Structure 1
Amino acid sequence: RRLAHGDDGDGGAGSGGAPRRRIRIGGRGPLLLTGALLLVWCVPVGLLLNRTDGSVSIPATMVDDQRDRTDLIADRLRRALNEAQADLVSTSHLIGAADAGAADRLLEEALVKHSRYRALYVVDADGRVGARAGADPHDWSRDEDLPLVRVSGKGGKVPVIQAGAPVKPVKGGKGGTLVGEIRVEFLNSLLTRPGLGEVRVVDSEGLTLASSGGFLAFEELPRETLTDLVRAGGMRVGAGPVENGLLIREGKGVTVAAAAPFSGGGVTADIGWTVVSWQDAARFQIAAYEREDRSVLAGMLGLAAIILSLGWIHLVVVRPLRALATSAENLADGDLKTVLYPRYQDEVGAVVRSLELLRQQAQAHRHNQARRSAEPRPDGR
């Protein structure tokens, strides 16, 4: 009758003779779907919710604070250079009255005493180096129009910052100049201040001489707006140049910047250096940025919770269930030797223990049948 209706009698097999397989959805599919749905919630929370742009209102007090602190650094740096030149003046008086051997010892002692110098040397009227101490000297021009604190070494890896003091001639000599080369690391240490962002010292052309972070010698400022700020700060207003503060809005970001040119007395008054600083306004404690940070934190915490939860479910539930299914199939195929051990003391573990009891009973039943078959029957057969 089944053949008459087109059934081949194989219990629902297809035309090719292969049995039809039921589609099974394992535990990994729902886990992946759940993870995808939760990610759809976490990603917008962390990346889209409470996002800020260039229209965030920055209090004027923060700009003023950036400007004032930058001016303090400029004043500290100017004083340090003036003190360095004053030390050279004091040492030059001793050099002028000493012979060659004593001059070398004086320079060695001064170099040990003052860590700001990398080299000390005396240049005579003809440009030749006499007494010296420290690193190799660089050329020193005796042009009277040049300031006593100057910069050279363009094209090199490190700017060469020199300070000079005249050495009085002795017994009709031509005299000379005591030159001290100031370490760039010393200037960098004066620029490093917490809560001020990146700080640089630039010359009159806007080229970098020192920085609180890494920099290339004589590189330009990273933004044209900062260069314009330096130029505006160098313009004389009244008695001299003044410090300036500025909000830079570019795209979705806001930057607080300030520039403070060297001013005041001393040999550094007219060298044309400027201290410029800038930092992202997102570092300030502003409500808009705090909400953005909390949203990003919530998204990251949600993502971490999703990964931990799904990983725990996979390890504690899905994998033991898959192992249980494999053990049950082996048991149904007649494998009574493999002992089943529960991994966890939970519901899955209870099912594994029950399956182990069934295996033991089936194994005992098989042994009993084998023993009965081996025993002789009463009729002697």
Structure 2
Amino acid sequence: MAGARAIPPALDGHGPDRFLWALDKLATSMEWLQRNSRRKPVEAVDRDIPLEVSEVRVEADDVVSLRLTGEGLLPAWQPGAHLDVVLPSGRKRQYSLCGDPGDRRYYRIAVRRIADGEGGSREVHDELRPGSRIVARGPRNAFPFVTAEKYLFIAGGIGVTPILPMVRTAAARGADWRFVYTGRSRESLPFLDELAELDQERVWIRPDTEFGIPASGAELLEHAPAGAAVYCCGPVPMITGIRVDLPGSAADSLHWERFSAPPIVDGEPFTVELARTGHEVQVPADRSALEAISEVLPQVSYSCRQGFCGTCHVRVLGGAVDHRAREADDHMAICVSRSAGRVVLDL
């Protein structure tokens, strides 16, 4: 997951897009109560799983998949689950599981290189080879796949990773499903070879280069069967468009996961005191407390970076919290919540 930006980028790539910023904030306000009232926090899974990279495969431009094996059968997982991966450098990243949930002999993840990121994807691409060893924690599931009769799956680029096992599961169950896969170009879309094995009447590949512009939310939702549950994962502009246009579609409900943190739209700088370690951390207006704390406390626990999973909730020992997640009054979700001045945390 990439770091948060003050305002999401414009669709044409030229500067910030304040319209998307406003839409995202509006959509978030409309759905917050519904979303958080039905979703239970993700339970922490406190186990380290030593894994070995057994295969590295190029899946698309700047995308590789890794097959990870351990000793014996690996812990079970369901579609939508991810691993917390501790890389050899000590960096911790979250990657969706995109293999076969029924085959516990291995895990599979896929990683897109982010040239200007914080270094995790570059480490995966440049340093991990067959025989490399990593540690995983989990699996955790902040994007649970519920049983329904009809589905519309929408993926943007690397957002296909949690969606792919869902599509296969829906097909195996005999559900009525459709899948829309969008991105910059066909060359940038991983796993097209595997999607070709599915019922092609139910799959629509929609590269921007073949249509001239990115798809609107309404265009993507045109493929929804009546009453469908929509599952989507991808960049903020795509998900924002879907959320705004959902009421005018045939779909019934929306479940989504973005592969970046939500934009910080009204941040103010504040100070975090870590009581156990004695560190004092300055949180800038355009960064989350989690990002700032991670620089001095890399082992701090987190998972979704979107406010709902509960993994990063930390007990508050002093100060006022601007709560932006479903959290207890005496806790702070450091991935999204903020403070008006100074807060003391039990870290």
Larger fraction in helix = 1
For normalisation by structure 1, the TM-score amounts to 0.20
Which has the larger share of strand?
Answer: 2
